[in-house]
Amino acid sequence: MPSPEPLEIRRGPFVARFAPQNGGRMTHLRHAAMGDILVPTPDASFDPLYWPKAGAYPLFPYHNRLIGAAFVHEGRRYLVKAHPALGTDAVHGPAHRRPWHVISRGDDRLVLALDYQADEDWPFDFRATQAFRLHPDGLEVVLTLGNTGRENMPSGFGWHPYFAAGLGKQVFCDAAKRWPLDAVGIPSGVPPEARAGNEPFPDEAFTEHLSEWSRAAAVLDGGAQITLAADWALPHLVAHRMPSYICLEPVSHVAGAFGFPPHSRAETGLRIQAPGEERSARISLRMTAKT
């Protein structure tokens, strides 16, 4: 059963809090001396369709906009329920709007799972897990997605943190490619462009969809620096900056890939999972004092 109460893990100066019943979210991540790493979630109870811009949540089995709330898979067109705030589009998959349950828990670690049954928000069964473990200098997250149905399933996954860094704070990513965007701010299907790994981000609000990255970093409001890395299964990154936060989202595929023509999907990272197939990815977050 989903845990009805917020959960907490600790190690050294770090404390992380979670609301499994509200989308498997990490609601807080804080360092005793250097303050909030994630924008703190003001209340762990909220409408799952209108979530706060805070904490961090899982992205299964796709991220960002699903244009027209529809996609074609193996010759068949599938429709899912559109998000009421986006008109005809769906967004970020249904996993962060479902109750998760606790698989295991220790002082410094927590494993959450979601056993998803096909419905109007996604037409395939899957099992997703998030494994969190605090370290003396940060956090490790392992995401796993398994196809528990009887049909092939198009799939992707990722993690959506809101880091506590306002405008004017330094942000860095060594991504080698940038995807051109369409009118609603997601990749249009045009092949990615080359990008210099040391190219600075603007100080104002922006959204970038990046590929071939190994490291992203940001200076937080409290003065510390976080460095984010992920393994080969998450080769894409969404960088989204607003006045009160910076999202650095490691993801398996490019946003909008479900709508790309079949011949242009090879570089997008979108995968087809066979029944019983499982995929995993590891994310590391390290925190250091900014000198």
Does residue 228 contact residue 285 with C-beta atoms inside 8 Å? yes
pLDDT digits (tens, 9 = 90+) for 253-262: 999 999 887 7
Mean pLDDT, rounded, for 35-55: 91
> Is residue 97 helix, strand or coil?
helix
- β 158-161/153-155 pair status: unpaired
At 238, the pLDDT band (50, 70, 90 cuts) reads very high
Tell me the average pLDDT of the chain: 94
Other beta carbons within 10 angstroms of residue 196's beta carbon come to: 10
pLDDT digits (tens, 9 = 90+) for 9-27: 999 999 999 999 999 999 9
In angstroms, the CA 11 to CA 287 distance is 13
Domains contained in the chain, CATH given = 7-289 (2.70.98.10)
CA distances 284 to 26, 110, 155, 239, 267, Å, are 15, 15, 22, 16, 24
In angstroms, the CA 22 to CA 43 distance is 11
Residue type for position 249: E
pLDDT digits (tens, 9 = 90+) for 158-195: 999 999 999 989 999 999 999 999 988 899 888 899 99
